[in-house]
Chain A
Amino acid sequence: MDSLTSPLAAVHPEGTEYGAAQEAHVALRYTTLDEEYTAIRERAAVLDLSGSRVLEVSGSDATDFMQRALARDVEYLTSERCMTSLVLDEEGLVVDQVVVWGREDGMLVESSVGGGARLLEHLRSVAGEDRVEIKDLTGEQVLLGLEGPYAWGVVGRLVDGELAALPFESVVDTTWDGVDVLFARTGVTGEYGYKVLVPHDQAATLWAKAVEQATPAGHEALELAMLEVRQPTHHEHADGADVLTMGANWLVDITKESFIGRDAVLAAFSGGATRRTVGFSGGDTVPAAGTPVTVGGEQVGVVVHAVHSIGLGAPLGLARLDADLAAAGLRLTVGDADVTTLTSPYVTPKSWSTPII
């Protein structure tokens, strides 16, 4: 499958920097990371999420199939709701983190940015004899996002003010400029968040209208803001870590009777994870993935992923540590730098104290 490129690239600002996010070729930065991050944390940012594939799962067995394929319970997911879930393989390893949108006939499955090809291949491989059709809507529909403490104001000016205050994970079929669109209240940065699924032909127009109201933010700012509130990204499972080691238990419904990967997850839970993931901050430079974490020269873990956090004004990373050291408030050594393990969320979102009015 060819690399996924944005259909909005032609209307992105001049000078946009692009890069790879798994299979997708995405806008990393339109202007500067600092400006785009500040928009997410202080005002409102518009996101080109076309690096996520949207798959339509339909057919008479669609619900049963999705119950089997998803780690969370979607049996009663109505057409007015969406939810986040992991998709696991038989070994309990993460295939992708998805958002599932309920529909009257089946569901829409939104992949992580750049994770769609792998997800599509997996779903088709496990469909077996199920009477389901899995259709890739890439090329037909484009996903745009809004994130920020005042994103609700943009929704009001751009779409409909009443949609801004929808309950979290609500989905509405509505119109924008006479076009049918699918609107959802979501959010992955801890700030108010919304998504609009718009027909391909109208996406550039909606993008242009949105950037009149909000600052375009690229993938780099989005991932940073996600990390600061401990929202999982593909970096966390790129090394084949299991759900418990990642700490992504909340994206798995262990009370559900059956789903692909459940036995492996249960076995791991019974056995107890030997390593767990904890956030840390400190030092002057961003450590590379794989940098050893030590105490008195003894290795107790390894860095999974790290960036420079604008919110903290310091490097911020995730480390896999021995389970008995996987706690906040510890002084450890990463490479040559002293760091401290942190309590999540690492940055308190402004939206938590900003009412929608």
Chain B
Amino acid sequence: MKLSIDELRATAAARLQTCAQIKKMIVSRLDLPIEPDWITDDQPLFGRGLELDSLDVLELYVAIEAEFGVALYDSDMSVFGSVSRLADHVNPKLAEANSLTGA
């Protein structure tokens, strides 16, 4: 079903809000010297991108469970593929449209 542009804006706002919350959590928990908005939704978190390491991951596991009530498992590192990918996991409703494409 196609949404109107206003409905799409509302849907986008919900995702952007979740992404903003994740960025704020990452900056706060890892004490990064940047504003959360500087991180982009598609930004990779490991290696290139934010260049997080395994200790950072442990910190984020704890932070995500505390903030979003979602337990992540270290067998699936693709969760940290980007802020937006992480948003799919902490708010599964956001992932529904992506799952339709097989992404």
Give residues in A with beta carbon < 8 Å to B: 84, 168, 187, 229-231, 247, 249-250, 254-255, 269, 276-279, 281-282, 295-296, 298, 300, 312-314, 324-332, 338, 340-348, 352-353
Whether the Cβ atoms of B41 and A312 lie closer than 8 Å is no
Summarize B's interface: helix, strand, loop or mixed: helix
With both chains docked as a complex, state the minimum distance between the C-beta of A81 and any C-beta of chain B, in angstroms: 12
Q: A296-B5, A344-B81 are in contact. Are A330 and B11 (CB under 8 A)?
A: yes
Chain B positions within 8 Å of A, measured between CB atoms, are: 2-5, 8-9, 11-13, 15-16, 19, 33-34, 37-44, 47-50, 77-78, 81-82, 84-85, 87-88, 94-98, 100-103
B residues in contact with A276, CB < 8 Å: 40
Quick check: A343 and B11 within 8 Å, CB to CB?
no
Q: Which of B5, B81, B98 contacts A329 (CB 8 A)?
A: B98
**Are B101 and A340 in contact, CB atoms less than 8 angstroms apart?**
yes
Pick the 3 closest A-B CB pairs, nearest first: A329-B97, A344-B42, A327-B12
**Contact check: which of B34, B84, B103 meets A312 at CB < 8 Å?**
B103
Q: B94 to A344, Cβ gap below 8 A?
A: no
Contact B11 A230 (CB under 8 A): no
Bound complex: CA A246 to CA B16 (Å) = 17
Given contact pairs A331-B3, A352-B77, A343 touches B38 in the complex (Cβ within 8 A): no
Q: Once the chains bind, are A327 and B41 in contact (CB under 8 Å)?
A: yes
**With the chains together, A277 CA to B41 CA distance in Å?**
10
**Complex contact A314–B12 (CB within 8 A):** no
Complex Cα gap A40–B2 (Å): 36
Inter-chain contact B84/A325, CB cutoff 8 Å: no
Starting from the known contacts A295-B5, A328-B84, A348-B78, 14 additional A-B residue pairs (CB-CB under 8 Å) come to: A84-B48, A168-B48, A249-B38, A250-B39, A254-B34, A255-B34, A313-B102, A326-B12, A327-B12, A327-B19, A328-B98, A329-B94, A343-B85, A345-B44
CA distance A249 to B9 in the complex (A): 24
Least Cβ–Cβ distance between B2 and chain A, in angstroms: 6
Tell me, in angstroms, the Cα distance from A247 to B97 when the chains sit together: 22
With beta carbons under 8 angstroms apart, the residue of A295, A342, A344, A353 that contacts B101 is A342
Per the bound structure, the CA–CA distance linking A352 and B49 in Å amounts to 15
Whole-angstrom CA separation of A279 from B95 in the bound complex? 15
- Give Cα A331–Cα B5 distance, bound, in whole angstroms: 10
In the complex, which residues of chain A have a beta carbon less than 8 angstroms from the beta carbon of B94?
328-329
- In contact, A340 and B9 (Cβ under 8 angstroms): no
Closest to A344 in B: B42
**Contact between chains at B85 and A314 (CB < 8 Å):** no
A352 to B94, CA, bound (A): 23
| CB–CB B84/A343 < 8 A | yes
Q: Nearest Cβ distance between residue B17 and chain A, in whole angstroms?
A: 10
